[in-house]
Chain A
Amino acid sequence: MAPVQVVNVSLPALPSGWSAEKDFKPVGGLSAATQRNIEAVGPHFLAHARRKRHNRTFSEDERIQAKQNVAKTEDEENMDISEDEDPTMFTREAKDWKGQDHYAVLGLTKYRWRATPEQIKKAHRKKVLRHHPDKKAASGKSDENDNFFKCIQKATELMLDPVRRRQFDSVDEAAEMDPPSKKQLAKGYFKAWAPVFHAEGRFSNKQPVPQLGNDDSTQEEVESFYNFWYNFDSWRTFEYLDEDIPDDGEGRDQKRHTEKKNANARRKRKQEDNVRLREMLDEVMAGDERIKKFRQQARAGKDAKRKAKEDEIKRVAEEKERARVEAEESKKAAEESAKADREKNKKAKEAAKNAAKKNKRVLKGSVKDVNYFADGEASASQVDSVLGDVELIMGKIDVDELAVLAEKLTIAGKDGAAVKSAWSAEGSRLVGAGKVKEGELKAFA
């Protein structure tokens, strides 16, 4: 990393008398640093960012980077492809290429449908280097027909043609994953089924394929998984298993017949495959605890909802009843209080009436007592005018004023002048208030 600079200046010799513990003597610190923004570019910055983010020191980072680099190169070299051939393979006839396992021939059984074209090319090259007829001749083990070399060539040709490779992959039994056994299922349901779906997913036109997941998958995930698989869009074809069509010009009918037969067989196989997948799915779904769980949850949720609804209804009814009772009670109370009030009013009114009657009597009596302000026998006209005025005033004044006047008159007693002045005062007050017109009063004017 940091390049070593070589400086051609000679270091000073140690002055005599210099000594320190472990030959190191700290003298001072550094001056304060300035904060600056470094530019986020360049390989050295990336190294800096890596160190800072992962909290590594220089040497740690160097070590980790070195390790990673080594791992990379090893990976490339190891990229296998040196699977040894099964001796039975050498005994095969090249013309029986249809029956051979092309991946085994190329030494790619580890990868199978996952092998990239790049890997296939590399594998082919490796195999050719080893099995080329010229090499065989050199080592004296000549295979007269170069059968295995031809097998390699055939396999490569087929594998590098995407259409034909799909045809082979469709019927590649070695890549098939059998549904798990009971024993495997007991160990873990999803763990046992997952590789089956992973393998089956290779036939999907739509990628990526949703995977089975685990116990903790959400309902959404599970639903999308089953939706996807029940509507599986597969590219699997069965052309590879076709019977060979005779190539001679003669048997045209024969040819047509075979073609028809092949097409039928393909269709049948495809159907069977679809049925197989569907049945498998049914089986998986039947045993899927998650679905039961979700159903239970849904039911529990529904129950809870229903309960909540019922509770609500009950609560509302109760509230209504309570409100009704309360209203009734308050009505009753109001009625009672109104009745009491009425009676009280009646009494008060009667009392007031009595008082007023009494007061009126006092009023009438007052003028009578003073002999209608006449000295001696009062003339009829005088009596009449005084009484007329008394009536007029009594008619004009209200109960309270009546009471006041009655009191005044009672105090005045039989003193004619006092009684007259009281009446006159009342009369003039009424005139002042505009209740009685001037001149209406005769005796008390």
Chain B
Amino acid sequence: MGDAVNGVAAQAERFAIGISFGNSYSSIARISADGKAEVIANEEGDRQIPSVLSYIEGEEYHGTQAKAQLIRNSGNTVAYFRDFLGKDFKSIDPTPCHASAHPQQSESTIAFSIRDTPSETPNSATVSEITTRHLRRLKQSATDFLGKEVNAAVITVPTNFADAQREALVAAAKAAGIDVLQLIHEPVAAVMAYDARPEATVADKLTVVADLGGTRSDVAVVACRGGIYTILATAHDYELGGASLDQIIIDHFAKEFLKKHKIDPREDARGLAKLKLEGEATRKALSLSSNAQLSIESLANGIDFGSTVNRTRFELLSGKVFGQFTGLIEQVVKKADLDVLDIDEVIFSGGASHTPKIAQLARNIFPEKTAILAPSTLTSAINPSELSARGAAFQASLVQEFDHEDIEQSIHPMVTVTPHLSKAIGVEFSSNTDTTFQPLLNAETALPARRIAQYVAPKEGGDVLVRVCEGARDIKVTKPEPKAKEEKPANDEDSDFSDEDDEEEEDIREIVWKTEKPVAELAVKGVKAGAKVEVMVHVNPDLGLQIAVREVGGSTAVRGAINGSS
């Protein structure tokens, strides 16, 4: 009103949120006034909103309510549709939709045949239309919560989302009244959710993001160099996810029921749906407590069923699936030509990451210094289910003010494709006994880059030499002194695990830096005793270098430049 009084049109102000749109669950988040990311709960109080829509006599249900409809109204309930967006019928895997509305071919796209109007005849709703409805509900929830019309968003997508899928998503969002500012990759959003915390510092690190979702798992290696992220490798498994763990719970209880009543509840579609829904809840409960209950009324033939399962039992049954999770993580590290020793951080994202055992297994794979960011290994970890929404919200707060054109220019390949250092650049220290290498710019740093570091000068002062080199890391394997085996015959039988651990302790592996190729030498003369020497290295995109070295507090600097290749 105030603006109108002034005779200036009240322009539609842009108000952006972050949306994480998953196959199983979606989340919405935004950055609050004090700069913290908060995930918005919908009307039902859910922060993880099931990506499910259900229709009863023309009435639309969304989220948890719709998910409950999978039992009695599965034909008119649409679920697990995200991955179908922008694809053609031939290339989709409709397996997750067995228990809900089945995808069908409709011209060039995919549609669901559902009764979404009061009439009896089913309508064909394309996957784009369904997505639009889903996003519209999310938008409405955010608008209701924030008390302000939400009209823009940053949405997360998997790293292997094709251009057609992106376009379809942007178009669907537009139809829902959401202006998509940018689509960002899920693993990077997860890294950013951690890096955007006020207490986080910018550091060079290599991060493995394990996004273990409901129906699929994606793992990526992300290099973070001076706050700039680069994805080095990705691995996907479309059959592995929380649903694989649910299946174990389902099978477990179904067998129990079978033994008791001689009926297999899995043979009845409704019984299976009930088991699925409750099994998922039980599996989630097991992530938090060591015992979880499952009780279903009228599971099969009108028989009520109630039972409990404890975590150890679940973990024993799921060993194979856990192995697949960790295998995927190891695979991606190998794919990036790295070693587990290189990884500084493992971020667990996605719903299945709540499972404590997975994080513990990852803990065993990676060395001590690697931080495992999962709820069971680190108390300060962010809820894995919220990571990508938070990252998206953070990005939304950054680009909210920008014009579309500005954003588009910034994410153009002209800007994003950059040369990355193939080898680390650092300073070599040689003393009488040995030479060591301290990396200053790590490998995979996006160019241009600039780094400054201070080094301690020799105690007595005088002239010092700064040798800037390229370095490579080596993995040094040392065999420890053979330990005198403590013979404890009595313990032998029940210490399978510890025995294995002992065996694995055989080699000590550590990272050793080696000088590969000297780049330049600089001398700083007359350094005072106890002073520090500051080295600044600037690398151009054409691999040209500018190096400046000076004594901290000193006025003159030694400078030099090396021309690049082109």
Q: Which residues of B contact A117 (CB under 8 A)?
A: 2
Q: Report yes or no: B2 in contact with A15, Cβ–Cβ below 8 A.
A: no
A201 to B7, CA, bound (A): 8
How far is the CB of A97 from the nearest CB of chain B, in Å? 19
Q: Report yes or no: A116 in contact with B202, Cβ–Cβ below 8 A.
A: no
Q: Report yes or no: A33 in contact with B419, Cβ–Cβ below 8 A.
A: yes
**Contacting chain A: which of B39-47, B101-109, B236-244, B410-418?**
B410-418
Q: Report yes or no: B525 in contact with A9, Cβ–Cβ below 8 A.
A: no
Interface residues of A in 6-59 (CB under 8 A from B): 6-15, 18, 20, 22-46, 48-53, 57-58
Q: Is A165 on the interface with B (CB-CB < 8 A)?
A: yes
Q: Report yes or no: A11 in contact with B465, Cβ–Cβ below 8 A.
A: yes
Which residue of A is nearest B472, CB measured? A31
Q: Report yes or no: A207 in contact with B9, Cβ–Cβ below 8 A.
A: yes
Known: A22-B558, A34-B422, A42-B192. 7 other contacts (CB 8 A): A9-B436, A11-B464, A14-B465, A23-B523, A32-B543, A39-B188, A41-B188
Which residue of A is nearest B2, CB measured? A117
How far is the CB of B202 from the nearest CB of chain A, in Å? 6
Q: Is B162 on the interface with A (CB-CB < 8 A)?
A: no
**Contacting chain A: which of B211-219, B257-265, B318-326, B514-522?**
B514-522
Q: Is B340 on the interface with A (CB-CB < 8 A)?
A: no
Q: Is A197 on the interface with B (CB-CB < 8 A)?
A: no
Q: Which residues of B contact A26 (CB under 8 A)?
A: 519-520, 560, 562
Q: Is A113 on the interface with B (CB-CB < 8 A)?
A: yes
Q: Which residues of B contact A202 (CB under 8 A)?
A: 6-7
Q: Report yes or no: A116 in contact with B421, Cβ–Cβ below 8 A.
A: no
Pairs A-B, 8 closest by C-beta atoms = A44-B227, A24-B560, A33-B419, A207-B9, A202-B7, A14-B463, A49-B410, A117-B2
Q: Report yes or no: B409 in contact with A53, Cβ–Cβ below 8 A.
A: yes
A7 to B227, CA, bound (A): 20
Given A11-B464, A12-B465, A29-B519, residue A40 in contact with residue B182 (CB < 8 A):
yes
Interface residues of B in 229-248 (CB under 8 A from A): 229-232
Interface residues of B in 186-236 (CB under 8 A from A): 188-189, 192, 195-196, 201-202, 222, 226-232
Q: Report yes or no: B231 in contact with A39, Cβ–Cβ below 8 A.
A: yes
Interface residues of A in 109-159 (CB under 8 A from B): 113-117
Return the CB mask of B555-566 against A: 1 if under 8 Å, else 0: 000111010110
A4, A37, A50: the one within 8 Å of B452 (CB): A4
How far is the CB of A285 from the nearest CB of chain B, in Å? 23
Interface residues of A in 160-190 (CB under 8 A from B): 162, 165-166, 169
Q: Is B176 on the interface with A (CB-CB < 8 A)?
A: no
- Among B6, B420, B455, the one with the most A-chain Cβ atoms within 10 Å of its Cβ is B6
Given A4-B534, A13-B458, A39-B229, residue A24 in contact with residue B419 (CB < 8 A):
no
Interface size class of B (residues with CB under 8 A): 35 or more
How far is the CB of A320 from the nearest CB of chain B, in Å? 57
Return the CB mask of B452-467 against A: 1 if under 8 Å, else 0: 1111111100111111
With an 8 Å Cβ cutoff, the count of chain A residues facing the other chain is 65
Q: Which residues of B contact A9 (CB under 8 A)?
A: 429, 436, 438, 455-456
Q: Which residues of A contact B520 (CB under 8 A)?
A: 24-28
How far is the CB of B16 from the nearest CB of chain A, in Å? 14
A203 to B464, CA, bound (A): 75
**Contacting chain A: which of B140-148, B348-356, B377-385, B441-449?**
B441-449
Q: Report yes or no: A39 in contact with B184, Cβ–Cβ below 8 A.
A: yes
How far is the CB of B430 from the nearest CB of chain A, in Å? 5
Q: Is A2 on the interface with B (CB-CB < 8 A)?
A: yes
Interface residues of A in 197-228 (CB under 8 A from B): 201-204, 207-208
Q: Report yes or no: B518 in contact with A27, Cβ–Cβ below 8 A.
A: yes
How far is the CB of B449 from the nearest CB of chain A, in Å? 8
Return the CB mask of A56-89 against B: 1 if under 8 Å, else 0: 0110000000000000000000000000000000
Q: Report yes or no: A15 in contact with B418, Cβ–Cβ below 8 A.
A: no
Q: Report yes or no: B525 in contact with A14, Cβ–Cβ below 8 A.
A: yes
A203 to B6, CA, bound (A): 9
A9 to B446, CA, bound (A): 26
A41 to B436, CA, bound (A): 35
Q: Is the interface of B mostly helix, strand, loop or mixed?
A: strand
Q: Is A434 on the interface with B (CB-CB < 8 A)?
A: no
Q: Is B490 on the interface with A (CB-CB < 8 A)?
A: no
Given A7-B455, A35-B417, A162-B1, residue A58 in contact with residue B188 (CB < 8 A):
no
Q: Is A99 on the interface with B (CB-CB < 8 A)?
A: no
Q: Report yes or no: A41 in contact with B521, Cβ–Cβ below 8 A.
A: no
How far is the CB of B130 from the nearest CB of chain A, in Å? 28
Q: Report yes or no: A12 in contact with B430, Cβ–Cβ below 8 A.
A: yes
How far is the CB of A232 from the nearest CB of chain B, in Å? 13
How far is the CB of B220 from the nearest CB of chain A, in Å? 10
A26 to B547, CA, bound (A): 10
Q: Is B316 on the interface with A (CB-CB < 8 A)?
A: no
Interface residues of B in 390-446 (CB under 8 A from A): 391, 395, 398-399, 409-411, 413-423, 425, 427, 429-431, 436, 438, 440, 444, 446
Q: Is A249 on the interface with B (CB-CB < 8 A)?
A: no
Q: Is B450 on the interface with A (CB-CB < 8 A)?
A: yes
A24 to B550, CA, bound (A): 12
A1 to B452, CA, bound (A): 10
Q: Which residues of B contact A20 (CB under 8 A)?
A: 521, 523
Q: Report yes or no: B522 in contact with A23, Cβ–Cβ below 8 A.
A: yes
Q: Is the interface of A mostly helix, strand, loop or mixed?
A: mixed
Q: Report yes or no: A165 in contact with B5, Cβ–Cβ below 8 A.
A: yes
Q: Report yes or no: A45 in contact with B227, Cβ–Cβ below 8 A.
A: yes
Q: Is B538 on the interface with A (CB-CB < 8 A)?
A: yes
Which residue of A is nearest B414, CB measured? A52
Interface residues of B in 516-550 (CB under 8 A from A): 516-525, 532-534, 538-539, 543, 545, 547
How far is the CB of A207 from the nearest CB of chain B, in Å? 4
Q: Report yes or no: B451 in contact with A2, Cβ–Cβ below 8 A.
A: yes
Which residue of A is nearest B524, CB measured? A23
Which residue of A is nearest B187, CB measured? A39
Q: Report yes or no: A204 in contact with B422, Cβ–Cβ below 8 A.
A: no
Q: Which residues of B contact A2 (CB under 8 A)?
A: 226, 450-452
A45 to B449, CA, bound (A): 12
Q: Which residues of A contact B179 (CB under 8 A)?
A: none
Q: Report yes or no: A40 in contact with B455, Cβ–Cβ below 8 A.
A: no
A34 to B446, CA, bound (A): 9
Q: Report yes or no: B464 in contact with A38, Cβ–Cβ below 8 A.
A: no
Q: Report yes or no: A37 in contact with B417, Cβ–Cβ below 8 A.
A: yes
Q: Report yes or no: B230 in contact with A38, Cβ–Cβ below 8 A.
A: yes
Q: List 21 A-B contacts (CB under 8 A).
A: A5-B454, A6-B454, A7-B453, A9-B438, A28-B519, A28-B520, A30-B421, A32-B543, A33-B419, A34-B444, A35-B417, A37-B417, A39-B230, A40-B415, A41-B192, A42-B192, A43-B227, A52-B414, A52-B415, A58-B448, A58-B538
A49 to B415, CA, bound (A): 6
Q: Which residues of B contact A116 (CB under 8 A)?
A: 2-3, 6
Which residue of A is nearest B392, CB measured? A41
Q: Report yes or no: A36 in contact with B230, Cβ–Cβ below 8 A.
A: yes
Q: Which residues of A contact B330 (CB under 8 A)?
A: none
Q: Which residues of B contact A5 (CB under 8 A)?
A: 440, 451-454
Given A33-B447, A43-B227, residue A24 in contact with residue B5 (CB < 8 A):
no
Q: Report yes or no: B8 in contact with A207, Cβ–Cβ below 8 A.
A: yes
Q: Is B470 on the interface with A (CB-CB < 8 A)?
A: yes
A3, A42, A58, A201: the one within 8 Å of B228 (CB): A42
Q: Report yes or no: A37 in contact with B5, Cβ–Cβ below 8 A.
A: no
Which residue of A is nearest B565, CB measured? A29
How far is the CB of A77 from the nearest CB of chain B, in Å? 22
Q: Is B335 on the interface with A (CB-CB < 8 A)?
A: no
Q: Report yes or no: A13 in contact with B462, Cβ–Cβ below 8 A.
A: yes
Q: Is B136 on the interface with A (CB-CB < 8 A)?
A: no
Q: Report yes or no: B202 in contact with A45, Cβ–Cβ below 8 A.
A: no
Q: Report yes or no: B7 in contact with A113, Cβ–Cβ below 8 A.
A: yes
How far is the CB of B4 from the nearest CB of chain A, in Å? 7
Q: Which residues of A contact B447 (CB under 8 A)?
A: 33
Q: Is B185 on the interface with A (CB-CB < 8 A)?
A: yes
Q: Report yes or no: A41 in contact with B7, Cβ–Cβ below 8 A.
A: no
A15 to B467, CA, bound (A): 12
Q: Which residues of A contact B420 (CB under 8 A)?
A: 33-36
A30, A42, A44: the one within 8 Å of B470 (CB): A30
